[in-house]
Structure 1
């Protein structure tokens, strides 16, 4: 190999995959050995972590991914994808439009919750009780934002995804699949919120909090909690964008033209 070719190979060197004529390896595993034997969840874990999850780990990760796939067209990412799908762009562009809406305020709470739960776990290791650690971390977070990531929901009094996800985590703690510290941290936040808001509407854990518990218990870093949510939500974004392409609308806006003032409802060249 010439010096230039060697330099180019080093420039793109990666442990994730290795490609040569007639050979594709993912984390040193021939792809033909994975096809038909590994699930998509297994391969996600393999590419991110370098090994294969146990069946219980894979089931827990899959549950989190399934829970986050969709939350209806009122979600900005899905609404944006549906509008983009009517604008003459390809399906991939519509999906990218939706994915690119997933930022700190919409899509970032899982990452933020993992960070907060990690703070609580650290404070617990310093000798605080779980509730003391939760209150201290909550105060720190709420000194910067009125919102506690992963708790409360603008639409659901109790997020219907919370209980089944946490039940699976409890089972995983019982059988030794995960340690349980992040679950304890999250439940401590709920307890602290309940005592703070005695008599008021409760603020239970939401989908972001429940999946944050799972991702943290499985050892994924906080940024990957957002990345995994993006993978999950992209499934719903794709489904909505595809449905919209079959509905015949053109240049769909955020509200029906029938509810716009007359002077806005008939654009010259939309």
Structure 2
């Protein structure tokens, strides 16, 4: 009977090397490469939007692609202290949190309700595009896609209408930049056409304009540039982080303590039980 040779112990160095594997960065003593590019070649030659694209997508974008991404980033930086993420950064700072703590608190608020509309709009556009690819016309695909979204998620349609602006002042400028890139062949314009068809459908159904807002237009940009829906939210977080940082820093210089969500002079509405007392027995 032949004895079984014991298995060789695993190579510890190889186990360690394989524990985290990444195609993003390669670091050795004296060497840092991002997606294969030496960092010293990127510094001073690549813009921050280009670097975001490289890190997320693996290749550098064209100049027009980077400019369109940059426009979306610039447009989404801030929307005032009434935006929950911005308000949280200011309140957290007044409660004594350092800059990083205030930023983390605010960024954590960017979920489905506040901050998720861009991702949801990209998902809606992608569903409509799939319906068109299956043979539907633009109008029929838009109507079916919108109805399916409403049936699943409720009547709120991400990317259209605004609770504050009758017409979002950021949308028109971004759409003009999208149209320029369609004309020069940088992007196809398929998602821009879908978004405009949704706008037309909403106008017909509601008998009033329901214009595209910042989320709807940036979703067009992210979809046209080939970003996955979830990355639309991630990139929005990068943009809004700038506004969050600015407000936290401004609040830091004011020396105010424990600033709540509304002035103390304004009473909130209490809707609970009237005053009552414990039975002394």
Query: TM-score, length-normalised on structure 2?
Result: 0.90
Matched, 1:235 2:256: no
Secondary structure of the 2:188 match is coil
* Separation of aligned partners in 1, 2:206 and 2:264: 43
Match of 1:268 in 2: none
Match of 1:164 in 2: 173
Match of 2:215 in 1: 208
Match of 1:267 in 2: none
Secondary structure of the 1:81 match is helix
Contact 1:131 1:191 in 2 (8 A): no
By how many angstroms is 1:258 displaced?
A: 3.0
- Alignment RMSD: 1.1
Match of 2:192 in 1: 183
* Separation of aligned partners in 2, 1:27 and 1:128: 39
Secondary structure of the 2:226 match is coil
By how many angstroms is 1:260 displaced?
A: 4.3
Match of 2:149 in 1: 141
Match of 1:256 in 2: 263
By how many angstroms is 1:88 displaced?
A: 1.6
Aligned residues: 258
Secondary structure of the 1:204 match is coil
Structure 1 segment 4-83 matched on structure 2, within 5 A? 4-83=12-91
Matched, 1:131 2:166: no
The partner residue of 1:224 within 207, 225, 231 is 231
Deviations 1:165-189 (A, max 9, x none): 1111111111110011111110110
Matched, 1:93 2:101: yes
Secondary structure of the 1:236 match is helix
Match of 1:193 in 2: 202
Secondary structure of the 1:24 match is strand
Match of 1:245 in 2: 252
User: Where do 5+ consecutive residues of structure 2 fail to align?
Assistant: 1-9, 269-281
Secondary structure of the 1:78 match is helix
